[in-house]
C-alpha cells in the first residue's frame, strides 16, 4: 500500500467534482484494492489521539448553511475494528496513550473524498483523530508510527487542504488567487523533489504560508501522509486546480522509495 494526501476543499466538493473528483475516482480504480482506509482529518480534533472502532460508522454532516442535497448524502462504509485496534496498539507502543472511540462516525474530511475514491463504499474506513497539540514534526512522526499498517493492506490517507484560507473564499470563482498558486507550486516542487525538510518547515519557509494557512490543521495531514511513506518517499501530483478563488485542490500520492 501507499499513502495519500487529499485536498477535500469545501463540503460542496461532494456535489461539485471539478478537476479533483474524476482524478480521485480514477486513482481509486488504479490503486491496489486496500483492506481498509485509515483517514486523518482536521474535522476530528481531540485533546489526545483517538481511534475510531465503530463497526458501522455513520455519516457526519459537520457543516452548516449549504444546500439541502448535501445533507442527504450518506457514505455507508463499514469500519474495520481489527485494523483500528492495530492502530491503537502502534500508537500505544509509541507512548501516545491513544483512546478508543466506538461511536464516532466519518466526518466530511473522510467521507467526501472517499465518495470519489470508492464510490460504492465497499472498502472499510476508520479514522484516527488529529491531536490538538500536533505540530509539523509530530504530524510526520504520527505517520511514521502508523506506517506499518500499510503492510497489512491499509491505505493511509491524510485529508486536508493544500490551501485553506476561509476568510478569502470567493464562491464559484475558480480563477485562483496568486498567493494560493505560489504556495501550491512551492509545495508541489518540494513533494516532487522529496525535500522533506522543507515540507516539514513549510509554514516558515513557503511563500505566503500564513496567508494560505492562517491555522495549520488542514496542512498537517500532508505531513502525516509523508511520514507514513518514509524518508525515501516518491511523490506524484493529482491535479485539482483551485476552487472558490483560494482553495487549492491538488493532492499527492506518496510511495515508499
Query: pLDDT for 149-200, tens place per residue?
Result: 999 999 999 999 999 998 898 887 778 899 999 999 999 999 999 999 999 9
Tally of CB atoms within 10 A around 10: 20
CA distance 77 to 28: 15
The three grid cell numbers given for residue 232, joined into one nine-digit string: 525515501
Beta bridge partners of 45: 130
Q: Which CATH homologous superfamily contains domain 3-255? A: LigB-like (3.40.830.10)
* Contact in structure between 224 and 137 (CB atoms under 8 Å): no
The three grid cell numbers given for residue 104, joined into one nine-digit string: 464516532
Low-confidence stretches of the chain (pLDDT < 50) are: none
Q: Where are the domains of the chain?
A: 3-255
Question: What are the strands, taking DSSP E only, across 112-212?
Answer: 125-131, 154-160
**Residue among 214, 91, 105 nearest 147 (CA):** 91
Strands 36-46 and 154-160: what pairing? parallel
CA distance 160 to 41: 6
| Owner of C-alpha cell 485494523 | 83
**Residue among 159, 110, 136 nearest 216 (CA):** 136
Compute CA distances 252 → 63, 158, 221, 249, whole Å.
Answer: 25, 10, 11, 10
- pLDDT given for residue 172 in this prediction: 78
Alpha helices in 37-107 (DSSP H): 68-71, 81-93
Compute CA distances 33 → 45, 49, 125, 128, 133, whole Å.
Answer: 28, 27, 13, 20, 33
pTM: 0.96
Amino acid at each position: 500500500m501507499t499513502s495519500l494526501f487529499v485536498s477535500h476543499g469545501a463540503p460542496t466538493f461532494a456535489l461539485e467534482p471539478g478537476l479533483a473528483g474524476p482524478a480521485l475516482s480514477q486513482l481509486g480504480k488504479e490503486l491496489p484494492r486496500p483492506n481498509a482506509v485509515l483517514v486523518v482529518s482536521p474535522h476530528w480534533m481531540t485533546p489526545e489521539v483517538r481511534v475510531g472502532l465503530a463497526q458501522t460508522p455513520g455519516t457526519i454532516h459537520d457543516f452548516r448553511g449549504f444546500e439541502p442535497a448535501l445533507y442527504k448524502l450518506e457514505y455507508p462504509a463499514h469500519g474495520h475494528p481489527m485494523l483500528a485496534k492495530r492502530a491503537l496498539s502502534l500508537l500505544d507502543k509509541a507512548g501516545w496513550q491513544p483512546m478508543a472511540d466506538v461511536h464516532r462516525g466519518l466526518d466530511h474530511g473522510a467521507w467526501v473524498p472517499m465518495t470519489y475514491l470508492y464510490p460504492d463504499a465497499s472498502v472499510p474506513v476508520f479514522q484516527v483523530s488529529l491531536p490538538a497539540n500536533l505540530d509539523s514534526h509530530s504530524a510526520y512522526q504520527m505517520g511514521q508510527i502508523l506506517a506499518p499498517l500499510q503492510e497489512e493492506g491499509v491505505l493511509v490517507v491524510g485529508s486536508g487542504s493544500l490551501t485553506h484560507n476561509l476568510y478569502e473564499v470567493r464562491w464559484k470563482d475558480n480563477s485562483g488567487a496568486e498567493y494560493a498558486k505560489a504556495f501550491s507550486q512551492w509545495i508541489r516542487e518540494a513533494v516532487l523533489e522529496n525535500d522533506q525538510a522543507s515540507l516539514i518547515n513549510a509554514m516558515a519557509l513557503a511563500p505566503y504560508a500564513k496567508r494560505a494557512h492562517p491555522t495549520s490543521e488542514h496542512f498537517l495531514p500532508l505531513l502525516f501522509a509523508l511520514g507514513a511513506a518514509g524518508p525515501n518517499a516518491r511523490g506524484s501530483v493529482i491535479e485539482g486546480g483551485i476552487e472558490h478563488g483560494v482553495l487549492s485542490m491538488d493532492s499527492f500520492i506518496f510511495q515508499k522509495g
